[in-house]
Amino acid sequence: MRPGSVTVGAVHGAALLLSLTGFASTLWYGVDEPGNALAFGTLIVLGELARWGAAPGVGAPPVREAPGGREPAPLAAAGALAYALLGASAGTATTHGVLQIVAVVVAAGLAGIVPHIARGRGPGPDHLARRVLTVGFAALCFQPLYNSGAVVEHLGQGPAYALFLVLLLALTALCDAVLAALVLRARTGFPYGPLLRDELSALLGIGSAVGATGTVMALGVAAAGLWALPVLAVPLLLTQVSFRRYAAVRTVNRQTIASLARATEIAGCTPPGHARRVAALSAAVGRELGLSGAELAVLEHAALMHDIGQLSLVDPVAGGATALLPTEEQRRIALLGGEVVRRTGVPEAVAVVVERQADPYREQPLPARIVRTVNAYDDLAGGEKAGAALDALERLRLGTARDHHPDVVECLARVLARGGAAGVTSVATG
């Protein structure tokens, strides 16, 4: 049994239990305000249908997704949130409870993803469980208070009410981030802090657009009735289209960079898969050392392209193992690589890492230290042989006086002991 499976099981179990209770209760007591339920349900179904299938990147390197681009069905998420925070409809108070909200959201969500599942691109159970629990949390915070009349009594129906919804929204977002980081930690074993930080910073992207639209839909329906739904859905759809195009061009860029990285392999400069392995392992080490999303992206790009300087050598280095060359030669190749990387349009920071990968560790920035150590490890271990790995680690430890930072080497050892870079790719798709 994997160490995190208890957490994942608990999250899935809680979501399943909540959904089943919601269905049972709704079937037993019937639906309050079926018109509202139908309208929001339709919105969620449409939102799920318009979901952009985050097709698993076949052959793409494990470079992380754009932060904030991870909500695949923003309209559905906003609709679910709005239904959870719905107090009044065109000035009339509503009476639907938490369990009905869960039932409507789950039923509509399932109806919406059936076509996607039929095409084999349905969302993972993690995503569904998160949606159910987050919406349940928001509803649980709001509906009992509202239905008992406490909200309107204390806050009235003015700006204070709107600000109360914003407060709930912030709490819900926090809950969602905690949940996401928890599941991710259970699946990958990375430290919790950086994961949570990533999730929170991801909220600034489409997460905040979803939240704002959800809140404003709840308010809009309260003020203007159900007509507010289609009117507000359009701007959010525009946001989704923008995100989709952004993601598409990012994918293309990533593929191109991966091709550039493969150039050294095809040129016979490096062994097959070297760049990919170094990138994956560097990312795992970087995460272990607590790097955040943007820094990890820089690290992975730099790791992918770290050997590009070898293209300018007249004769390939034997076996492509730069770690075995004299120091001056290594630095020269690193500088040449930096020259190429500077022209690729990736952030300047990537070129700096590539340039400084062969410097002594005391002069290096952290990402360059990681690339240096991981590259040396891959060169020394030469792929998959188990015995070579231990030898390689031993040699890296011997190099900690000048070349390799001791913390990075120990971190690499921990990551390797855990099974290497496994799980890095699941971060990208999560």
Partner 1 sequence: MVRIRSTMPSRAVQLASVTGMMGVKVIPRAARVYIGCALLGAGASVLPALRPGAATPWATVALLTALYALCELPARCRLLGRALGGSVPMGTGSFFPVLLAAALLLPPAAAALTAVPGSLLARVEEPPAAPRRAWRAAATALATWAAAQAAGALDCARALGHGHDAPDFPYALLPAGAAALTFCLALTALDGGIRATAGGLPPRAAWRGLLGRALAPHAVHGLAGLMMAVLWRSTYGPVSALFVLLPMYISCWVFAQYHRERAAHQATIRALVQAVDIKDRYTRGHSERVGHASVLIARELGMAEDRLDVVRFAGILHDVGKLGVPTRVLRKDGPLTPEERRVIELHPEYGHEMVRGIGFLGEARAAILHHHERMDGSGYPYGLHGDEIPEFARVVAVADAFDAMTSTRSYSRARPVPTAVAELERCAGSQFDARMVAALVRALDRHGWQPAVTADETTPAGPTGGNVPPPRGAHAARRPEAPGTRPRERA
Could you give the string, one character per residue 320-339, with x where binding to partner 1 holds by CB under 8 A and - elsewhere? ------------x--xx--x
Residue 386: both structure tokens together: 């188990």
In terms of CB distance, is 26 or 310 closer to partner 1?
Answer: 310
The whole-angstrom separation of Cα 264 and Cα 267 is: 5
Burial 13-40 (b: 16+ CB within 10 A, else e): eebeebbeebbebbeeeeeebeebbebb
Question: Does residue 99 contact residue 22 with C-beta atoms inside 8 Å?
Answer: yes
Binding segment for partner 1 (CB under 8 A), chosen from 93-101, 118-126, 243-251, 404-412, is 243-251
Minimum CB distance to partner 1, residue 426 (Å): 20
Considering only 5, 95, 148, 312, the residue that binds partner 1 (CB under 8 A) is 312
Instruction: Pick one of 100, 215, 357, 373: the residue that binds partner 1 (CB under 8 A).
Output: 215
Stretch that binds partner 1, among 40-48, 131-139, 209-217, 397-405 (CB under 8 A): 209-217
- Which pair of tokens denotes residue 173? 């977002």
- Residues 307, 315: Cα–Cα separation, whole Å: 14
| 18, 76, 101, 258: which one binds partner 1 (CB under 8 A) | 258
- Residue with smaller CB distance to partner 1, 228 or 428: 228
Binder among 86, 138, 308, 323 for partner 1 (CB under 8 A): 308
Binding-site member from 2, 119, 343, 402 for partner 1 (CB under 8 A): 343
Q: Check residue 82 for interaction with partner 1 (CB under 8 A).
A: no
Q: Is 413 exposed, middle or buried (0-12, 13-18, 19+ CB in 10 A)?
A: middle
Q: How far is the CB of 424 from partner 1 (least distance, A)?
A: 18
Neighbours of 99 (CB within 10 A): 22
Least distance in Å: CB of 130 to partner 1?
21
CB of 111 to partner 1, least distance (A): 25
Torsion of CA 84, 426, 201, 253, to 10 degrees: -120
Amino acid at 90: A
Which residues within the stretch 136-175 sit at the binding site for partner 1 (CB under 8 A)? 156-159, 161-163
The footprint of partner 1 on this chain (CB under 8 A) covers a number of residues equal to 74
Q: Does 246 bind partner 1 (CB under 8 A)?
A: yes
Q: Does 232 bind partner 1 (CB under 8 A)?
A: yes
Q: Could you identify the residue written with the tokens 């150590």?
A: 373
Applying CB under 8 A, which of residues 145, 183, 257, 334 lies at the interface with partner 1? 257
User: Residue 414 is encoded by which pair of tokens?
Assistant: 């921990």
Question: Given candidates 206, 291, 352, 368, which one binds partner 1 under the rule CB under 8 A?
Answer: 206
Looking only at residues 365 through 404 of this chain, which bind partner 1 when binding is defined by CB under 8 A?
Answer: none
What element of type H or E holds 93? strand 92-93
Q: How far is CA 45 from CA 37, 59, 136, 238, 286, in A?
A: 12, 32, 18, 18, 39
Neighbours of 248 (CB within 10 A): 11
Compute the distance between CA of residue 43 and CA of residue 185 in angstroms, rounded to an integer: 32
- Nearest alpha-carbon partner for 201 in 61, 69, 51: 69
Site for partner 1 in 266-295 (CB under 8 A): 266-268
Least Cβ distance, residue 192 to partner 1 (angstroms): 24
Structure tokens belonging to residue 165: 């919804």
Interaction residues for partner 1, span 86-105 (CB under 8 A): 90-91
The answer to the question of residue 425 lying near partner 1 (CB under 8 A) is no
And the tokens for 147?
């239905």
Among 38, 171, 311, 413, binds partner 1 (CB under 8 A): 311
Check binding of 263 to partner 1 (CB under 8 A): yes
